[in-house]
Structure 1
Amino acid sequence: MQRILNLIICTFLLVQSLFAQSNSSPLLTAEMASKLAAMPLHCIPNEWPNKTSHVSDTSSDHVLLPHELHPAFYGCLDWHSSVHGHWMLVKLLKTYPDLPNRAKIIEVLNNSFQPEKIKGETEYFSKYKTSAFYERTYGWAWLLKLDMELYTWNDPLGKQWYASLQPLTQKIKNLWTTFLPKQTYPNRTGVHPNTAFGLVFALDWANTMHQTEFTELIKKRSKEYYFNNKNTPAYLEPDGTDFLSPSLEIADLMRRVLPKAEFVKWINTFYSKEGISNITKQPVVSDRTDYQIVHLDGLSLSRAWCMKGIASSLPAGHPYKKLFTSTAQNFLKTTLPHVTSGNYGGDHWLASFALYALTEE
């Protein structure tokens, strides 16, 4: 417990010192990367507490432990958090190959990416009556993000782990290509089932992997879901447990789907003045010990990465470009010191959101 407390204090002081050095957007440093890596290093092998979200077929699988259901991704409270914790460690190794805790990171990742464990993860998605729906589509999205991170890493270990992950990656891709044509309506919530968030990561993966048919399917469905959306009700955001902005996730997707000139026309009618005013306000987090309320710290981070990306797709002089850039910086500076709040409800996942917000171009 004291070790964890010391880690939290060090991370908090590190982030504060980082902000004191610069008035620009916060930047990831090697020291900060090492401290952030400690969070998934702690939770990936930590089976408890755990929220399995498993739907039992019979009494025999009702009593299975998390590591029996999910031999690789059983820690960090839930499957998707474990997956993006793995993504985070891979990303940090790629960015800073000489991290002081490099050996520990490799040990943890190598243990997870054993072929037999990934085989067990893959089989889960076909083994039970409802397991094909498991983690749809948030966990699916992070699995493809992890796969893409490994694929784009020119490193022997990365290549080995990438090869091990392929049965699960292909399973997820096949589940998605089966589901997406049947998904008549998008999910517009600010939590896990959000369709736009999932399609952002899926599209990035499909483009990177030159999966032309999957790419075209995603673009087609994205346009069908969102192209004619106008005056989106962003003035109602957020709900009390949101960690994603429904409107910004859509815009972050459409900047990838539409040519730049067409995207500018689209976003000009997508938001109202009231909506823009609302999503640029800092979410209020009243209790970081509450596992649901602390989601709102994640909302600030995901808003930041969406705004950074959207701003990069807008021409100079567009009214949202400067506004989104400065708002993203403020969200990061205000929220990063709370990434390790000392409560597992945030500690098991927020560091991944922080890293993505810091490094996403």
Structure 2
Amino acid sequence: MIKLRAIFILAICLTGQSLSAQNSEQTLFNKEIAGKLAEMPLKCIPNEWPNKTSHLSETQADHVLLPHEIHPSFYGCLDWHSSVHGHWMLVKLLKTFKDLPEREKIIAVLENSFQSEKIVGEADYFSKYATAKNYERTYGWAWLLKLDQELYTWDDPLGKKWYAALQPLTKKIVALWTAYLPKQTYPNRTGVHPNTAFGLVFALDWATTFNQTDFAGLIKQRSKEYYLNNQNTPAYLEPDGTDFLSPSLEIADLMRRVLPQKEFVSWFNKFYTKEGITNILKQPVVSDRTDYQIVHLDGLSLSRAWCLKGVSKSLPVNHPQKKLFEATAQKFLVSTMPNVTSGNYGGDHWLASFAVYAIFD
């Protein structure tokens, strides 16, 4: 396999473009890179093993169910959420490259997953078990809404068909989230799956796209209650050893959506300390990519990249962090791309999705 670094650097050389240019990642992202990344979810979506179901068994009968019996569509890629964002990535690539060589393979995999009866089975899971209402809360929920949004905004017969099929599950997730959010007294500030700010970013994007004003209003209200008065966030302590999200940057990425620009800048200037900013601009060190937890830190570089890009866009031209954030985002993306296809399943089952989101967000 051609290394992604070679492909990406070759694209830079052939186009003669600088990575400091706005949105240059999208310009440099070509069919060859897309195809190499597509190979990863194409392999793992239909692959049931290894598998981490995270299913809480209530009886002996449901304890012995196989992953595909529990989750008819999203049973591959080690866990439910990775399968969901693998599906999102494949949809994104189909939308972006009309003549992608892997197109027919992608369609075949997605066509199998988006069968109506399978999606109904996925939705039923959240009602079938008393403990299932908090399953994948809220990381997996967030990616499901991102997948739904991607399908809805694709003007294509396949997109329309798959979007319609997904609706029972989408409606279930939205209902669960709207019931849960008023009860969530405190946000989760972790750097892994339960991170509240990350989930609310995707939920707010979805609610805005669909003009779901009540859901959007609830998200904004809770976001302000959680984060508006936060000052001097301890970003100098980041990251923890298994982080794939930056607790502070996820909050900033959310609040730039919640607040008007002038209010956001005022909030941002109080939220970060100089030491905190210096720290989050350092490249995370990944000592062992065969370790399923340590490899999370490659994901951290990519999620930091998309947050830094987003925050940079929301800062005024004369803000001292604007260009620094943009340049660091580009650096993180370019330096991490080669590690996305490391050949170790601990990263291969999910990192490609993070890379594609970091490029296109």
Match of 1:330 in 2: 331
Give RMSD over aligned pairs.
1.0
Equivalence for 1:3:
none
Q: What is residue 349 of structure 2 aligned with on the other side?
A: 348
Residue in 2 that maps onto 1:261:
262
CA–CA separation in structure 1 for the residues paired with 2:220 and 2:251: 12
Q: Distance in 2 between matches of 1:315 and 1:218?
A: 25
Answer with 24-33 or 38-47: which moved more. 24-33
Structure 1: distance between partners of 2:300 and 2:330: 14
- C-alpha contact (below 8 Å) 1:51/1:78 kept by paired residues: yes
Provide Cα deviations, 1:17-44, integer angstroms capped at 9, x if missing partner: 3355544153311221121111111110
Whether the 8 Å contact between 2:3 and 2:338 is mirrored in structure 1 is no
CA contact (8 A) 1:89 1:105 kept: yes
Amino acid of the residue matched to residue 277 of structure 2?
I
**Structure 2 counterpart of 1:14, from 7, 21, 31:** 7
Report the Cα offset of residue 16 of structure 1. Answer: 4.0
Contact 1:235–1:278 (8 Å) recurs in 2: yes
Point out 4+ residue stretches in structure 1 off by more than 6 angstroms: none
Matched with 1:40 is 41
Deviations 1:239-270 (A, max 9, x none): 00000000000000000000011001000100
Whole-angstrom distance in 2 between the partners of 1:12 and 1:52: 33
CA distance in 1, matches of 2:242, 2:145: 25
Q: Distance in 1 between matches of 2:251 and 2:46?
A: 34
Contact 2:4–2:337 under 8 Å retained in 1: no
- Whole-angstrom distance in 2 between the partners of 1:124 and 1:235: 41
Residues 225-244 of structure 1: pairs in structure 2 closer than 5 A: 225-244=226-245
TM-score, scaled to structure 1: 0.96
Aligned pairs (5 A) from 1:301-320: 301-320=302-321
Give 1:15 deviation, angstroms: 3.0
Q: Residues 245 and 302 of structure 1 are in contact (CA less than 8 Å); yes or no, is this contact kept in structure 2? A: yes
The one-letter code matched in structure 1 to 2:109 is V
Q: In the alignment, is the contact (CA less than 8 A) between 1:336 and 1:354 conserved in 2?
A: yes
SS of residue in 2 equivalent to 1:50: coil
SS at match of 2:321: helix
**Structure 2: distance between partners of 1:346 and 1:81:** 11
**SS in structure 1 at match of 2:203:** helix
CA distance in 1 between counterparts of 2:308 and 2:5 reads 24
Residues 144-171 of structure 1 deviation map (CA, whole Å, 9 limit, x = unaligned): 0000000000000000000000000000
SS in 1 for 2:141: helix
1:59 alignment partner in structure 2: 60
TM-score w.r.t. structure 2 length?
Answer: 0.96
Letter aligned with residue 191 of structure 1: V
* Alpha-carbon distance in 1 for matches of 2:266, 2:285: 32
- The whole-number CA distance in structure 2 between the counterparts of 1:89 and 1:248 is 26
Residues 16 and 337, structure 1, Cα contact 8 Å, conserved in 2: no
Query: Relative to 1, partners in 2 of residues 1:290 and 1:16: Cα closer, same or farther, differing over 3 Å?
Result: farther
Residue 10 of structure 1 and its aligned partner are, at CA, apart by: 4.4
Structure 1: stretches of 5+ with no match in the other structure: 1-5
SS of the residue aligned with 1:241?
coil
- Cα distance in 2, alignment partners of residues 256 and 210 from structure 1: 15
- Aligned residue-pair number: 353
What is the percent sequence identity of the aligned residues?
A: 75
Counterpart Cα distance in 2 of 1:100 and 1:209: 32
1:136-194, Cα deviation, whole Å (9 max, x unpaired) = 00000000000000000000000000000000000000000000000000000000000
> Counterpart of 1:314 in structure 2: which amino acid?
L
Q: How does 1:46-195 map to 2 (within 5 A)?
A: 46-195=47-196
What is the SS of the residue equivalent to 1:38? helix
| Alpha-carbon contact 1:12-1:340 (below 8 Å) kept | no
What is the CA–CA distance in structure 2 between the aligned matches of 1:135 and 1:74, rounded to whole Å?
A: 13
Is the 1:141–1:198 Cα contact (8 Å) retained in structure 2? yes
